[in-house]
Amino acid sequence: MRVVIENISKTFEDGTGEHIEALRDINLSNEENEFLVVVGPSGCGKSTLLNIVAGLLPATSGKVVFEGIPDESRPHTAVVFQEFALFPWRTVERNVVYGPEERGLPRKDRQKIVRYYIDLVGLTGFEKKYPHQLSGGMKQRVSIARALANDPWLLLMDEPFSALDAQTRTIMQGELSQIYEKTQKSVLYITHNIQEAVFLGDRVAVLSRRPGRVERIIPIDLPRPRQEHIMLEPRFLSYVDQIWQHIRGQAMEALTEEKP
C-alpha cells in the first residue's frame, strides 16, 4: 500500500471574490508503514492538504491515489483532529466504537476492537466517562483510539497536540511514537512544531508559505524506538536546525503579514 499525492493544487475564493492560492503542485508519497510529517509555517496550507487526502475537501487540480489496496473492506483514512472532535454525547468507549459501528461489524468483534485500542492508548478504566470529564491529553488519546479502531490504511493527524500544554505534549509525542512502533500504521502527520516533526517522522516534508509548495523532503535517520532523551542528541538537534533554517525566513514573513 502506498499513497501518492499527485500535483495537488488548491485555490480558495474568499468572501470578496479574491482567489487565494493555498497549495501549488504538491507531490508527495506516503510509503507503507511510513510516518510522514508535513511541517510548515502557519498559513502554508498543510491542514488543507490533509483535508484533501481525507476526502473532506476537493482539490482544485491533481489527485490522491491509494495504490495496492487489495479490497475495499477497510477505510482509506481516519483523521485525528486538533480539536479532538469527540462526540460529547458518547462515552469514551462509544466514541471509539463509532467507526466499527459504521462499518457494520458484529457486536463481538466491535467489543474486542474497542478493548484493544482503549488499552493501547492507556484509557482502561475510563471507558464510561464522557469527553467533558477528561483532560485534553486524555481526549486526544480517545481520538487516536477512535481513528485506529477503524483500521484505516492511512492515519491522518492534523496538529493533534497543538491544543495541549507543553508537558502533556511531550508525553503524548512519546506515546504516539510507541503506538506507531507497535501498530506499524502509515501516518501522515501535520504540524508546525519542528522538534515534534523530527521526533516522530521517518521523513519530514517542509512546506513553504502560501502558496504551499514542497520545499524539501528530509529523511530522518534516527533509530527506533525513539525516546524523549533523543531530543537532546546532536543528530536530532542538527535535523531541527536544518529544518528551522528553511522555515525561519518564512515564519518571519508570516509574523508580519496581515491576516487575509
Partner 1 sequence: MSRDRQPLAETVVQDKTVFMIRREHRLISLIFILGLFGVWELIARLGLVSPLFLPAPSAILVTGYKMVLSGEIFHHIGASLWRIFWGFSCAVIIGTFVGILLGFFSVAESIGNPIIASTYPIPKIAILPLLILWLGIGEYSKITVIGLGVFFPMVINVYTGVRNADPVLIKAAISLGSNPQRIIRKVILPSALPMIFAGLKLGIGIALLLVVAAEMIAADAGIGFLILTSADLMQTTKLMFGISILSMLGLIFSWLIDRLEKLCIPWKK
* 107-120 vs 136-149: helix crossing angle, rounded to 10: 140
Are the C-beta atoms of 180 and 192 separated by less than 8 Å? no
The footprint of partner 1 on residues 112-131 (CB under 8 A) is: 130-131
Task: Pick one of 88, 106, 125, 234: the residue that binds partner 1 (CB under 8 A).
Answer: 88
Which range in 54-62, 117-125, 173-181, 221-229 contacts partner 1 by CB under 8 A? 54-62
How many other CB atoms sit within 10 Å of the CB of residue 20?
Answer: 14
DSSP state of 212: B
Beta carbon nearer to partner 1, 2 or 129: 129
Grid cell listed for 142: 480517545
Q: Decide: is 233 part of the binding site for partner 1 (CB under 8 A).
A: no
Comparing CB distances to partner 1, the nearer of 111 and 130 is 130
Q: Which range, of 65-73, 143-151, 186-194, 211-219, touches partner 1 by CB under 8 A? A: 143-151
Q: Given the rule CB under 8 A, which of 86-94, 165-173, 223-231, 241-249 is the region that contacts partner 1?
A: 86-94
Detail the DSSP E strand segments found in the chain. 2-13, 19-30, 35-39, 61-67, 77-80, 154-158, 186-191, 203-207, 214-219
Which residue among 99, 160, 201, 212 contacts partner 1 (CB under 8 A)?
99
Write down the least CB distance from residue 73 to partner 1, Å: 11
Interatomic CA distance for residues 93 and 76, integer angstroms: 22
In the bound complex, what is the minimum distance in angstroms from residue 259's beta carbon to partner 1? 20
How many residues at the interface with partner 1, by CB under 8 A?
A: 25
* C-alpha–C-alpha distance, residues 106 and 97, integer Å: 11
DSSP 225: S
- Whichever of 25 and 101 has its CB closer to partner 1, that residue is 101
Member of 85, 217, 230, 231 binding partner 1 (CB under 8 A): 85
Contacting residue, 56, 171, 237, 252, with partner 1 by CB under 8 A? 56
Residues ≥6 apart with Cβ < 8 Å to 147: 78, 79, 80, 99, 155, 156
Stretch that binds partner 1, among 71-79, 116-124, 168-176, 229-237 (CB under 8 A): 71-79
Rounded distance, CA 90 to CA 157, Å?
22
Binding site for partner 1 (CB under 8 A): 54-56, 75, 77-79, 81, 83, 85-89, 98-99, 102-103, 130-132, 146-147, 150, 156
